[in-house]
Structure 1
Amino acid sequence: MNDSCTCCSGCSSWQSATSYKNSFFKRLLVAVSVVIIIAMCLTPAEARSVEHRRRHQRRPDMAQLTKDETMKRPKNPSTEQFKNATRKIKHKLRNTKRFFDQDRKVLNETREYRDGMPSWLPAVNFVDIHFHDYRTSRKVGKSITERKFTYLMPKLYKTLKEYEVIFKLLLNVQLDLSDDPFTNYIVVRQKLLTDTLDKLYSTIAEIQENMIAVNMPIPPFDKNRMKLDALDKKVDATQCLKNDYIAFRGYGNLLNNWYSEFRCPLNKKSDRKCAVFHAKMNEKLDNKRFKNNRNI
């Protein structure tokens, strides 16, 4: 009886131990499985995060590289010379234009004298100047700044020299002073013409100086090519007023157009004043094409 009980008790203890072991292994298996599943879920995300960090560590700072390259990139001395020369001339034109606009206010211009276009008044083809294609004249080793300078400066120089000749002639015309009230205007015109010529001399000298600075020869100027015979050298009060106003109007337009040409290249369209200048040049271009088509 005792042996039987002992046997049963042993069997029971063995079964209990076996059952406990099986339960433990099942729980361990479940735990391991859970850990594996979690690891499988997390590993790709972590791998992506690590790879992302590596890429950023390897990727250079492009903004810094660009800045460094810009700082290290050597500037073309020739291009810088032409840029500086152009900048100085543009600044001089702006001041010449501003001073002339102020001085011109002393004139009481009338519509009667503002519509004339005599043959002695210099004509400038700003349409061709504005729409000139600098790419067609590309030369090896020459920047667009240099090509612009070499194209524009001789034309600017010539047109200013033409008005120098005109103003000298107006300053020295013989006047019929039969009209007494006109004597007051004589003093005004003398000062206006003298001041205008002084600033014009200075502007021409600035252009010559900057041409020489970039080793560009001063272009020849021949006043005999101008139609000066049409400008009377002896005039009465009425004709004197008319000639003065026409010359001052033409010179004012010339300064405005030249300054706008330097300030407003074709690719600059966001500026309001430049947009107005581009529109004016486009209108003149359309009119020119229309006239050419009619003459065909």
Structure 2
Amino acid sequence: GGGYIGMEIAAATVGWKLDTTIIFPEDHLMKRLFTPGLAQKYEGLYEENGVKFVKGASIKNLEAGSDGRVAGVKLGNGSKIEADTVVIGIGAKPAVGPFERIGLNSAVGGIQVDGQFRTNIPGVYAIGDIAAFPLKIYDRIARVEHVDHARRSAQHCVKSLLTAQTSTHDYIPHFYSRVFEYEGSPRKVWWQFFGDNVGETVQIGNFDPKLATFWIDSGKLKGVLLESGSPEEVQLLPKLARSQPLVDEVKLQNASSVEEALEIAQSSLQVGTNV
């Protein structure tokens, strides 16, 4: 798989000096978040570290050796890749079937809950990846498949259960990954994304090590992905995502560095506050 699991496992296994191949059906890594240009940067880094890619491929079956252990992966086109270990990280659909039998609403692709993670059945709650909750900032129902939301949804739900809290869960989508952090690695990777990946994109930086991608929709800054940011820069991201300030896209495109681009975004945030 070419998502979080595939990328993080591959970074670890190649660090253990294992011959590592990522197989996935899409045309680039992290299709649901990365732009093609952004994916190209990370794919190049992975290839420099020895990871191989087989894109646009489907797996027909796994093949076993004489000892019964996996020996290879047969692709949809008939070709075969030798393997003695296979990690399947292709994503998963919420297993809502058992809960439908007791009347939980799952028409939205997960178990639908309110802003306190209550289902339509009194006393039954749902949190984490399976919960389809009101994403207040964007006024839509959403599921978020990431550990950050799993933790925060659990915290909000438990607080609602144990106290008189009645506030709606007000979550800003946040995704991150940290790889190649083992001892001796020439390059550590730590990217963070806040917001919504909709609209046009502006990519700044040469990945040396910093890189930033800004998503702009109708003039508003909707989301930001930052690679190798400082603690102060990372703290700015959720503020930008929540405020969604109007930003000068041309000025942003002409920024000479990630630092300058973030300063432009921050100044837009301050202008919006003053207005």
- Asked if Structure 1 and Structure 2 have the same fold, meaning a TM-score greater than 0.5 normalized by the shorter chain, the answer is no
Higher Cα radius of gyration: 1
Structure having greater relative contact order (Cα 8 Å, sep ≥ 6): 1
**More strand by percentage:** 2
Where on the TM-score scale, by shorter chain, does this alignment land: which range? Answer: under 0.3
* TM-score, normalisation: structure 1: 0.22
